[in-house]
Amino acid sequence: SGVATYNNLAPGTYVFNVRSANNDKVWNDQEAELLITIAPPFWNTLLARIFYALVLVGMLTGAYIYLRRLSRVKLQKAKEQEAIRQKEELEQMKYRFFTNISHEFRTPLTLIITPLDAIIKKLTDENLKKQLSSVYKNAQQMLGLVNQLLDFRKLEMKGEKLNLQAGFVTDFILPLYSSFQSLAEEKHIDYIYEPCEEQVYMYFDGEKLQKIVNNLLSNAVKFTEPGGTIKLTEQSDDSEIRVSVEDNGCGMTEETRKHIFEKFYQGDTSHAMAGNGLGLALALRVLQLNDYKIEVESEPGRGSKFTVIIPKR
Q: Are 220 and 181 in contact (CB under 8 A)?
A: no
The SS3 of residue 206 is helix
Task: Please give the pLDDT value at position 55.
Answer: 95
Task: Please give the pLDDT value at position 50.
Answer: 93
Q: For residue 227, is it left (φ>0), alpha (ψ between -120 and 50) or beta?
A: left
Per-residue confidence of the chain (313 residues) as pLDDT tens digits? Answer: 568 888 888 888 898 888 887 777 788 878 888 888 888 888 888 889 999 999 999 999 999 999 999 999 999 999 999 999 998 888 778 777 777 777 778 778 888 888 888 888 888 888 888 888 888 888 887 887 777 667 666 666 665 566 778 888 888 888 888 888 888 888 899 999 998 888 888 888 787 788 788 888 888 888 888 989 999 999 888 888 889 999 988 888 777 777 676 655 555 544 434 444 455 766 666 666 667 788 888 888 888 898 888 888 6
Ordered strands of the 240-247 beta sheet = 190-194, 229-236, 240-247, 303-311, 293-299
The SS3 of residue 294 is strand
